[in-house]
Amino acid sequence: MPMSDALLWVHGTPTTPAAFLTAGSAYSTNEIDFGAPNTGSTYPYLPQFPSATEKGYTFPPEVVGAGGVEWGLHFVVGVAFDTLTSIVLSAVSASTTNATTAIASRTLTLAQLAIAGAHYFVPVNGVAVLEFLRAYGALTGSNNVSGTCMMWFGPRTGGEQ
């Protein structure tokens, strides 16, 4: 499978990085729809992951160990950010569109965002992901003027910070 097939873009792309946080805190431009969880009542009649009954469990039967593939939110700086103090970058998920519930977060400072090409990763536990997923940046300080970024949800690729 080509690498691009495994990436689910939530904001910008390598050819067109998008502005972010220019008007205060913001959600990503795209939201991923993973489809409704399988209840096991229709074809293929398998209530395994993603299972509507197991999705909310604190300790699901499918425990991903060290050998599992880690997935999460990738954030790559296109044009350096300039005026904000920091952002709390969150993966947000819900069972309906316009997700707002943070399931994983990471704080990035202006010093980190002032490096074009910097690649950051927010690991996301797959059990916490409901049907819809997008990103949210909670801004601290002034609105960003020149910064752009690209974000996607996908497996860890190596080289992320």
| Structural domain boundaries in the chain | 3-55+70-155
For tokens 């569109």, the residue is 97
Residue carrying the six token digits 């044009």: 79
Residue 1 CB contacts under 8 Å (≥ 6 apart), including other chains: none
Once rounded to an integer, what is the mean pLDDT over residues 5-11? Answer: 74
* pLDDT band with cut points at 50, 70 and 90 for residue 158: confident
Structure tokens at 37: 């969880």
**What is the structure's pLDDT at 68?**
62
Question: Is a pLDDT exceeding 60 seen at residue 61?
Answer: no
The architecture of the domain spanning 3-55+70-155 is: Sandwich (2.60)
Q: What is the pTM of this model?
A: 0.80
Query: CA-CA distance, 124 to 109, in Å (whole number)?
Result: 20
Q: Which residues contact 112 (CB under 8 A, 6 or more apart)?
A: 118, 120, 161
Q: pLDDT tens for residues 76-126?
A: 999 999 989 999 999 999 988 999 999 999 999 999 999 999 999 999 988
pLDDT at 1 (0 to 100): 32
Residue 3 is predicted with a pLDDT of: 42
